Amino acid sequence: MERTQDFDVPAEELWEAVTDPEQMGWLGDEITLDVRPGGTGRITDDGETREVRVDTVDAGHHLSFHWWPEGDEDMASRVDLIVVPRPPGSRLVVRETLPDPVATDGPAGRQTRAAATIEPTAWDRRIVVLGLATMKPLAGVAAGSRC
């Protein structure tokens, strides 16, 4: 899954909004996070609380973390937040990598999920189109949804 959004603020300000816990309220109603590699925390958004573990912090450019529903680390997905300067403004690219539903629950499964980097945009569309074309009862996916 990928989303891109442009902002009228400089990249440095966007980076602060992405990595300063006091400014990260847009991610969820409640957030505590140690924004350093290996740092942990919690984010509650729309009634769901996730545990978070930070992977990489490339100052000014890229924050990545894994997060998962409380107590359910096997369902972890990876989030990449990438700040791109576009003077006079900036751009945020968000990627969330799908957990592998077919992978085993063991270490091999977790490794598979950790290693999987998907080129998301083309596959989002293909998966949804195939789903709509193939599966008769496919509840909850709007035909016009932009993925």
- Least Å distance, CB 24 to other proteins, is 9
Hunting for tokens 């599966």 — which residue is that? Answer: 135
Q: Which residues bind other proteins (CB under 8 A)?
A: 1, 3, 5, 7-9, 13-14, 17, 23, 25-28, 45-46, 77, 92, 94, 96-102, 112-113, 115-116, 118, 123-124, 126-128, 130-135, 138, 140-142, 145-147
Query: Which amino acid is located at 102 in the chain?
Result: V
Closer to other proteins at the Cβ: 50 or 54? 50
Q: Are 59 and 81 in contact (CB under 8 A)?
A: no
Closer to other proteins at the Cβ: 54 or 99? 99
- Least Å distance, CB 140 to other proteins, is 6
Cα–Cα distance list, 105 to 12, 49, 71, 108 (Å): 40, 22, 14, 8
33 strand-pairing partners: 41
